[in-house]
Structures are given as C-alpha cells and as structure tokens.
Amino acid sequence: MPAAADIPKPALKRRKPNPWVRRFKSPIHNNGLFAAGTIPEGPRVIEYVGEKITKKESYRRAVERIDLAQRTGGAAVFIFELNSKYDVDGSVRWNAARMINHSCGPNCETRVVKGHIWIVALREIEPGEELSYDYGYDIEHWKEHPCRCGRPDCAGYIVRHDQRKKLKRLLKKQKKQSRAK
C-alpha cells in the first residue's frame, strides 16, 4: 500500500494563483493582467487554457461571437489556434490569460509548445506593467475591433502586425472618401 502522501491528488480545474501576474482594472479594456514583479525576458508567464474544440465547432462559435460583437460592441472572440485540427476556446472562467489585452506594441507573445499555448515575455517587463500580446486578428473584420492600447504607434484597430500597412492605406482611403462627400 502506498503512503497517503504518494497518492496523486485529482487534478483541479481551479489553478493555483500565478506568481507572475496580478489582475487589475486596465486602461486599455476591462480587467487586464499586470506584472507582479520584474518578469525577465523569455519565461512562459502563463498558460492560455480552455476547452479543446474541433475546427468546425470553433468556426461555429467564432461566427456566433462576431455576430454578438457587432450587436453589443464587445470585441473578444477568445478562440486560439492550437494546430491544424483543434483550437482552444479560452472563454472559461479558469483561464486568467483571457484577460490579457491586445497591444500594437506588445511585451508578450503566444507560443504553442507541445500542445499547450503559452504567453511568453518578449522582453523584461517591469513590476506593475500591463501584459499584452498581438491578438493577430485578420484585417477582414477590422471595423469590429477598435484598439485602445494607447501607444503612439497604435494602428487604431486590432489587426495583425503584417497587415497594418494595408490597414493604414485603407483608413487613408476612407478618410479621403468621407472628405469628398
């Protein structure tokens, strides 16, 4: 018989508080996650956890949420690409990483390591600094996702980094058209 201490405890859905981060009201949007102390460059700060779903289910949920966003002004979709077969729906209460906001100049990025999605620090983050990463939204739905990251180089909308030049041209064109009216 193994001693009681050797018997593994059942895995709990509620996770231990993460020592790297604290949750506070964010100047960007709702609640955000902030560095509890200095976070060095490189570590896996927090895992983006959630429900593992198929691409088909993922598409269904995304469409539903984009529709809701259009009606209510909420922007979050919370679905993350895991691999070619599955996505992760992070809109669950026990996923603290869902509170991390988008920024056009983020201090973190997401990395998929062995089937897990991690938020990784891109540089040293000072205590109290808000954590952010690039949500990487496609330009197709840019209008539904205005950005309030407050950076001087903010693109105005949450659009993935390599499409921001395209967005700039689009916004310029729109401005011209509205002036011509």
Nearer to Zn ion, 80 or 137 (CB): 137
- Sign of the alpha-carbon torsion through 181, 170, 103, 99: positive
Instruction: Quote the CA–CA distance of 91 and 89 in Å, as a whole number.
Output: 6
Of 52 and 160, CB closest to Zn ion: 160
Under a CB-based contact definition with an 8 Å cutoff, are residues 60 and 87 in contact? no
Least Cβ distance, residue 153 to Zn ion (angstroms): 8
Residue 76 structure tokens: 């979050």
CB of 169 to Zn ion, least distance (A): 17
Q: Contacts with Zn ion in 85-104 (CB under 5 A)?
A: 104
SS3 111: strand
The pair of structure tokens assigned to 37 is 């102390």
154 binds Zn ion (CB under 5 A): yes
Using rule CB under 5 A, residue 75 touches Zn ion: no
Smallest gap from residue 154 Cβ to Zn ion (A)? 3
User: Which position has the token pair 């089937």?
Assistant: 115
Minimum CB distance to Zn ion smaller for 103 or for 110: 103
Cα separation, 61 vs 99, in Å, equals 19
Q: Which is nearer to Zn ion, 88 or 104 (CB)?
A: 104
Under the criterion CB under 5 A, does residue 147 sit at the interface with Zn ion?
Answer: yes
Closer to Zn ion by CB, 21 or 147: give it.
Answer: 147
Residue 157 three-state SS: strand
Q: Considering the complex, what minimum distance in angstroms separates the CB of residue 46 from Zn ion?
A: 21
Count CA within 13 A, CB hemisphere, residue 181.
6
Contact set with Zn ion (CB under 5 A): 104, 147, 149, 154
